[in-house]
């Protein structure tokens, strides 16, 4: 069974940092693009960024460029989202997903609350 | 960036009746490789989104035949031939022809 197990969410003050993790099992992680999508409370889905299988190519939405970094450790079947300089508007449920152009397998989501 | 719009934003349909959602993009989603990178997702209450339709019209394994996708270029449609209670949720279209990948605002489907 394919599973994307997420962790790392929580409460952080504006300007703070947080690191999200996504551990993948049941598929060959090292050959897959991976993506992060977020959903602010009561809002729709917003793609955040993605990373290629080797970790050598990353794409981001403009609003997170320079603040968020997507990385991966293929030896650990793990995907990460390092979030710095967090803003209130970054508050959302963050999902990791396998990116085959569509996002065909999703994690359960993890909540990030940005509040003082 | 490609902007995706959906109409209607909410839909209330009696069980067994059809439902239709329109999705439009500001640029053609037909790529030079001949493929059209338009997808449909559903997010059921309390769940992660799940992929329903690949490349305009290809149902994902396990998706009932009552779901169908159509369209081309910039105009697309998701149809549910006979709505069931389990179909309640928010339906999103998404383009993946270029970065940033963008979603439509979502269409809330409920049972009347």
Q: Does any CB of chain A come closer than 8 Å to the CB of residue B57?
A: no
Taking the CA of residue A13 and the nearest CA in chain B, the distance in Å comes to 26
* Chain segment A91-113, per-residue pLDDT in tens: 999 999 999 999 999 999 999 99
The 3-state DSSP class for residue A23 equals strand
- For residue A15, what are its two tokens? 């300007």
Task: Give the per-residue pLDDT at A1.
Answer: 92
* Confidence band for A37, pLDDT divided at 50, 70 and 90: very high
A107 to chain B, minimum CA–CA distance in Å? 7
pLDDT value at residue B108: 98
Q: How many CB atoms lie within 10 A of CB B60?
A: 16
Contact between A108 and B48 (Cβ < 8 Å): yes
- Residues for chain B: how many in total? 112
Per run of 10 residues, the mean pLDDT along chain B (length 112 residues) is: 98 97 98 97 97 98 97 98 97 97 98 95
pLDDT tens-digit readout, A56-94: 999 999 999 999 999 999 999 999 999 999 999 999 999
Round the CA-based radius of gyration of chain B to a whole number and report it. Answer: 13
pLDDT of residue B9: 98
Q: Nearest CB to B102: which of A47, A59, A102?
A: A47
> CB count, 10 Å around CB of A55?
15
Structure confidence at residue A18 as a pLDDT band (50, 70, 90)? very high
């Amino acid at each position: 069974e394919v599973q994307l197990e997420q962790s790392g969410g929580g409460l952080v003050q504006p300007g703070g940092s947080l690191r999200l993790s996504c551990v993948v099992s049941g598929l060959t992680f090292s050959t897959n693009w991976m993506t992060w999508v977020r959903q602010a409370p009561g809002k729709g889905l917003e793609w955040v960024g993605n990373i290629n299988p080797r970790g050598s190519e990353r794409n981001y939405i403009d609003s997170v460029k320079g603040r968020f970094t997507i990385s991966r450790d293929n030896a650990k079947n793990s995907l990460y989202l390092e979030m710095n300089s967090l803003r209130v508007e970054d508050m959302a449920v963050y999902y990791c997903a396998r990116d085959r152009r569509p996002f065909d397998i999703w994690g359960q989501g993890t909540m990030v609350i940005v509040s003082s | 960036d490609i902007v995706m719009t959906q109409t209607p934003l909410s839909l209330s349909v009696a069980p067994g009746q059809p439902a239709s959602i329109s999705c439009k993009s500001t640029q053609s989603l037909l790529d030079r490789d001949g493929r059209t990178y338009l997808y449909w997702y559903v997010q059921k209450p309390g769940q992660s989104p799940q992929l329903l339709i690949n490349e305009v019209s290809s149902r994902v394994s396990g998706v009932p035949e009552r779901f169908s996708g159509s369209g081309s270029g910039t105009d697309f449609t998701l149809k549910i031939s006979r709505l069931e209670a389990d179909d309640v949720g928010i339906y999103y279209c998404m383009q993946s022809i270029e970065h940033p990948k963008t979603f439509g605002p979502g269409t809330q489907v409920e049972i009347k």
